[in-house]
Amino acid sequence: EAGVVQSPRYKIIEKKQPVAFWCNPISGHNTLYWYLQNLGQGPELLIRYENEEAVDDSQLPKDRFSAERLKGVDSTLKIQPAELGDSAVYLCASSLQGGLSHEQYFGPGTRLTVT
């Protein structure tokens, strides 16, 4: 079974430029999460989707961040414009709603460096 797929794995951009990250969850997983992870810290939730609906985006900085999951499968997270402080690893995860534990499966992440 394929895991959560993310691309690109690494991205270096200059500040004020836009950037987009893509995630394809595990087949059949209807819940998708985007997390931000700074060095030496745990992941912090940015947005959670149930199918195509964003059910929790309270931690998403909406002035510069946006996300979509149009067909309820893969998802894109965008930053425009990027700031130096956005340098971090962006993790995507998916889970099966109704599962006993809501275990989340993580992708390898996109490491963003803003210069």
Task: Report the interface residues with another protein, using CB under 8 A.
Answer: 4, 31, 40-45, 48, 56, 91, 95, 97, 101-109
Write out the DSSP string of 13-74.
Answer: E-TT--EEEEEE--TT--EEEEEEE-TTS--EEEEEEETTEEEE-TTS-TTTEEEE-TTSS-
Q: Which is nearer to another protein, 35 or 65 (CB)?
A: 35
Q: Which is nearer to another protein, 22 or 105 (CB)?
A: 105
Q: Which is nearer to another protein, 80 or 92 (CB)?
A: 92
Quote the least distance from Cβ 73 to another protein, whole Å.
18
